[in-house]
Structure 1
Amino acid sequence: MQVMILGLVLWTVAHLFKRVAPGLRARLGVLPGKMLVTVLSIAALALMVIGYRRAGVDPVYTPWPGIGHLNNLLMLIAVFLIGVPHSKGIVKTKLRHPMLLSVALWAVAHLLVNGDMASVVLFGWLGLWALVSMALISSQEPWTPPATGKLRSDLIGAAITLVVYALIAGAHYWLGYSPFLGTYG
């Protein structure tokens, strides 16, 4: 669990660095600052995965029967939202933080179906990080919504979402978890 927590701390420091220490980040320069965040993020992800896989299963709560269906719906929305900033669709003009909202939904979806301590720490922490990041960005930078987008871009994004979602489901099957049971535990 300590390895996973170290990864979570590293992730948080890397991603909040610009918000909590803007002067220091500016002195590093754009490219070196981005490189530092990238290297720390990769290391953080590796530590989180290793730590989560090593963590024992210490039950905290039992997920509700059938809650996996809500998990799947939230995950479908989260996968769509992660790509919104790269589109020219209508949704992009309505949401200020679609990627961070995606992480928050992903975290909630996984908390619905995973009641062990490692999951509560991992998904709870990352969900809280996403919410704190949204609040910090919103308090520090004004937002001007982009020009009105096109429905066609959102439809293309939805099609891509289905393909990516299928790949994610396949990865879960490969890891030994069926994401379509509806009930877990």
Structure 2
Amino acid sequence: MTLIVLGLALWWGAHLFKRLAPAARAGMGDAGKGLVAAGVLAGLVLMVLGYRGVEQVDLWYPPRFLTHLNNLLMMIAVYLFATSVTKTRITGVIRHPQLTAVKTWAVAHLLVNGDLASLLLFGGLLVWAVVEVILINRAEPRPAPPPPAPMSREIGTVLGALVVFGAIAWVHNWLGYWPYG
């Protein structure tokens, strides 16, 4: 559990550095970007190692049907994450598609994992995404929505998200977590 907590602390700290200490972050210039990237990467590695190596302590036993809801939410999360780059029509409605994707991903995983490590990891990342949205919304005015994307971009984003979801499911299966219930 210690590695998960340390990983979350690095993740939170690196991501929130710009929001909580903007002058210090700006004063670091490009070196600050590298520091943030290193903190995020180190946090991610620690979270993965901690999660993979921790003894499972079950808190509840989620019903199997939630696996299907998890998969639907995961497809939505992958799509939302992709829209932050492709700027599809949904980005005119959802201000923070990447952070919304993280929140959706975290909730999906909390639905199907009833152990303490999952609660700590996915719950910690869910709370981080909520805090990040609040801080961004307080600090920055809402930008003008992007112009409507062409339908080809919408279709391409959906198809790309389905391919990435398939790859994520394959990796989960390869790691020993059958994602289809």
Q: Is TM (by shorter chain) over 0.5?
A: yes
Residue 71 (structure 1) shift = 0.3
Structure 1 partner of 2:99: 100
User: Equivalent residues in 2 for 1:128-143 (5 A)?
Assistant: 128-143=127-142
The residue type equivalent to 2:54 in the other structure is A
Detail structure 1 runs of 4+ shifted over 6 Å in the superposition: none
- Equivalents in 1 of 2:151, 2:136: separation in Å? 27
State the percentage of identical aligned residues: 47
Match of 2:3 in 1: 3
Structure 1 equivalent of residue 122 of structure 2: 123
Q: Which whole-Å CA distance do the structure 1 matches of 2:121 and 2:147 have between them? A: 36
Return the offset for 1:153: 1.1
Which residue of the partner structure matches residue 151 of structure 1? 151
Contact conserved, 1:92 with 1:149, CA < 8 A, in 2?
Answer: no
Q: Once structures 1 and 2 are overlaid, which stretch shifts more, 171-180 or 113-122?
A: 171-180
Deviation at 1:82, TM superposition (A): 0.8
CA offset at residue 47 of structure 1? Answer: 0.5
For residues 36-56 of structure 1, what are the alpha-carbon distances to aligned partners after superposition, in whole Å with 9 as ceiling and x for unaligned?
Answer: 111111111110011111111
Using the alignment, how far apart are the partners of 1:89 and 1:179 within structure 2? 28
Q: Tell me, in whole angstroms, the C-alpha distance in 2 between the residues paired with 1:148 and 1:57.
A: 46
Where in structure 2 are the equivalents of 1:12-161 lying within 5 Å?
12-29=12-29, 31-144=30-143, 145-161=145-161
Deviation at 1:150, TM superposition (A): 2.2
| Pairwise CA distance, 1:148 | 2.4
Is 1:162 the counterpart of 2:162 in the alignment?
Answer: yes
Deviation at 1:175, TM superposition (A): 0.9
Preserved contact between residue 96 and residue 143 of structure 1 (Cα < 8 Å): yes
Report the Cα distance in structure 2 between the residues aligned to 1:14 and 1:169, rounded to whole angstroms. Answer: 28
Instruction: Give the Cα separation in 2 of the matches to 1:58 and 1:147.
Output: 48
Write the distance in 2 (CA, Å) between the matches of 1:158 and 1:139. Answer: 31
Which residue does 1:173 correspond to in 2? Answer: 173
Q: Partner letter of residue 50 of structure 1?
A: L
- Is the partner of 1:65 in helix, strand or coil? coil
Deviation at 1:64, TM superposition (A): 2.3
**CA deviation map 1:75-111 (0-9, x unaligned):** 0000001111111321222211000000000000000
RMSD: 1.0
Q: How many residues are treated as equivalent by the alignment?
A: 180
User: TM-score, with normalisation over the residues of structure 2?
Assistant: 0.96
Gaps of 5+ in 2: none
Structure 1: tracts of 5 or more residues without a match = none
